[in-house]
């Protein structure tokens, strides 16, 4: 599946604000994000906008479910750039790619401060931030190039409980091959997830590319070993890892009855006006039941009780009785990034959504034609993308401020 970014760089929701939210608040925001989007849709009179939000949630939830199922997932994502910076389309708008990963470092660092067992998680987040900066460097250099990154589950870094708490299943050992391909115009991200992806598997792939990894290397060392190759090698992953097994994401989408039932349950929660902590608990309960249903249907053991409500509830009971743990069902496990990015293994990139979290500070608006820059730049209140309120208002209307200001000037010159 391919996702195309429509660039509006100043609708930036990837905000690095250490003082605004506690770790508990961040976790609740993450687990209830889909419900919040559905509530926004229910409150909107714009039917087209409501449908767009519904489809966004469907993609996000399908991604969450597919991540806990056995199988592989292949995705493609296209970034856009503005002034040599990368931006990714997120549920709340276009997000600065580096800021998104800085948020991931922030969250992981908070977790490590509270519990030293999560030190590995902070290391992963930092390595992913470095990867994002390397991707931006590819764009700045302007020449076609390819970069391979391997992200493993991390069984060598932490115990099973710690891995589950950050959304990584130590039994599935899902790992990711990521190919960042810059073709001279756009940066493309190709991703392939594979179960039971071991350190030795990673070493063998890297050896094929001429990179020798010491026997003592850890998953973090593998993640930080970014292999740069000449030219735009769009088929690199197909050459390194031919498709095999079940496409988990495709399987989830094919089960329209289960996915539709799950989305209806989330919409019902959205309409109830529950406190955030209660909403998070109820959302996770729904996800556990639906993940149980998808797991059993994939295995061929799902039982139709004659009513989908009873069938899904029964599936959840069976898995609870068996002690099944879906990584992250009791905490938030996945980024709020758009579905192709969720399925690309970036589990640490946290999106702080909502303009209520924006900090407007004194600065210079980055829009070159902004009136505040004439006859010389004047300090004004700017948001997290260094854009003033007036220009931001135009961006929010899907208008290019520079074009609008030139149009106004043209009219003024005509009158004079």
Q: In the prediction, which pLDDT does 154 show?
A: 94
**Interval 91-121: pLDDT, tens:** 455 678 888 888 888 878 888 888 898 899 9
Q: Nearest 5°: CA angle at 184, between 180 and 187?
A: 30
For the chain, give every domain's residue range. 2-251+327-355, 360-415
| Average pLDDT taken over every residue of the chain | 81
Q: In the prediction, which pLDDT does 140 show?
A: 93
Q: In the prediction, which pLDDT does 355 show?
A: 43
Report residue 338 as tokens: 């758009």
**Interval 60-91: pLDDT, tens:** 898 888 878 888 888 888 887 877 788 875 54
Phi, psi of 13 (to 5 degrees): -110, 5
Q: In the prediction, which pLDDT does 415 show?
A: 57
Average pLDDT over residues 145-152: 97
Residue bearing tokens 């990714």? 88
pLDDT band at 363 (very low <50, low <70, confident <90, very high): confident
More confident residue, 327 or 362: 362
Q: In the prediction, which pLDDT does 265 show?
A: 94
pLDDT above 60 (res 335): no
321: left (phi over 0), alpha (psi -120 to 50) or beta: alpha
**Interval 262-320: pLDDT, tens:** 999 999 999 998 888 888 889 988 999 999 999 999 999 999 999 999 999 999 999 98
Residues 370-376: contacts with CB within 8 Å, 24+ apart? 370/401, 370/405, 371/405
How is residue 94 annotated by DSSP?
Answer: E
pLDDT band at 15 (very low <50, low <70, confident <90, very high): very low
- For residue 207, count CB atoms less than 10 angstroms from its CB and return exposed for 0-12, middle for 13-18, buried for 19 or more: exposed
CA distance 270 to 285: 14
How many CB atoms within 10 Å of residue 361? 11
Q: In the prediction, which pLDDT does 27 show?
A: 66
Question: Alpha-carbon Rg of the chain, whole angstroms?
Answer: 22
Tell whether omega for the bond before 153 is within 30 degrees of 0, i.e. cis.
Answer: no
**Interval 201-247: pLDDT, tens:** 999 999 999 999 998 999 999 999 999 999 999 999 999 988 777 88
Residue 393 C-alpha from the chain's centroid: 26
Q: Which helix (H) or strand (E) holds 288?
A: helix 276-299
pLDDT band at 350 (very low <50, low <70, confident <90, very high): very low
Phi, psi of 288 (to 5 degrees): -60, -45
Report residue 208 as tokens: 């094929």
Cβ neighbours for 256, distance < 8 A, ≥ 6 positions apart: none
pLDDT above 90 (res 137): yes
pLDDT above 60 (res 337): no
Asked if 383 and 358 count as a contact pair (C-beta separation under 8 A), the reply is: yes
Average pLDDT over residues 327-348: 48
Q: In the prediction, which pLDDT does 8 show?
A: 37
Residue bearing tokens 């929701």? 13
Residues 219-223: contacts with CB within 8 Å, 24+ apart? 219/152, 219/153, 219/154, 219/155, 219/156, 219/157, 220/120, 220/123, 220/124, 220/127, 220/157, 222/150, 222/151, 222/152, 223/124, 223/127, 223/128, 223/131, 223/149, 223/150, 223/151, 223/152
Phi, psi of 180 (to 5 degrees): -95, 120
**Interval 378-393: pLDDT, tens:** 888 876 567 787 787 7
| Residue 333, CA distances (Å) to 63, 197, 307, 345, 355 in order | 11, 19, 30, 11, 23
Q: In the prediction, which pLDDT does 180 show?
A: 97
How is residue 363 annotated by DSSP?
Answer: E
């Amino acid at each position: 599946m391919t996702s195309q970014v429509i660039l509006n760089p100043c609708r930036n929701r990837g905000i690095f604000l250490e003082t605004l939210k506690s770790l508990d608040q961040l976790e609740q925001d993450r687990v209830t994000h889909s419900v919040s989007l559905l509530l926004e849709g229910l409150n909107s009179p714009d039917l087209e906008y409501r449908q767009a939000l519904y489809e966004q949630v469907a993609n996000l939830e399908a991604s969450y479910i597919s991540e806990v199922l056995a199988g592989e997932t292949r995705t493609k994502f296209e970034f856009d750039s503005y002034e040599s910076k990368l931006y990714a389309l997120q549920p709340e708008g276009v997000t600065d790619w580096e800021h998104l990963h800085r948020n991931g470092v922030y969250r992981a660092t908070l977790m490590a401060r509270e519990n030293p067992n999560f030190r590995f998680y902070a290391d992963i987040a930092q390595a992913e931030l470095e990867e994002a900066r390397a991707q931006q460097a590819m764009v700045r250099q302007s020449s076609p190039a390819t970069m391979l990154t391997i992200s493993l589950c991390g069984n060598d870094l932490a115990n099973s409980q710690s891995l589950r708490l950050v959304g990584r299943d130590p039994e599935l050992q899902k790992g990711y091959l990521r190919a960042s391909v810059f073709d001279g115009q756009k940066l493309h991200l190709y991703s392939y997830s594979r179960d039971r992806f071991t350190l030795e598997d990673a070493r063998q792939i890297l050896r094929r590319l001429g990179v020798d990894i010491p026997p003592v290397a850890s998953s973090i060392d593998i993640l930080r070993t970014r292999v740069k190759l000449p030219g735009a090698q769009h088929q690199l992953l197909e050459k390194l890892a031919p498709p095999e097994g079940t496409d988990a994401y495709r399987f989830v989408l094919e089960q329209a009855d289960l996915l539709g039932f799950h989305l209806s349950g989330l919409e019902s929660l959205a309409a109830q006006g529950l406190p955030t902590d209660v909403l998070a608990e109820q959302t996770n309960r729904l996800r556990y039941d639906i993940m149980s249903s998808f797991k059993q249907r994939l295995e061929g053991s799902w039982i139709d009780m004659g009513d989908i409500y009873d069938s899904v509830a029964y599936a959840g009971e069976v898995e609870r009785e068996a002690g099944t743990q879906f990584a992250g069902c009791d905490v938030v496990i996945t980024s709020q990034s758009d579905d192709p990015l969720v399925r690309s293994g970036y589990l640490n990139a946290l999106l702080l959504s909502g303009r209520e979290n924006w900090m407007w500070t004194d600065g210079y608006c980055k829009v070159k034609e902004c009136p505040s820059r004439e006859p010389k730049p004047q300090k004004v209140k700017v948001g997290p993308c260094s854009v003033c309120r007036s220009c931001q208002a135009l961006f929010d209307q899907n208008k290019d401020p520079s074009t609008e200001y030139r149009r106004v000037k043209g009219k003024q010159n005509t009158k004079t």
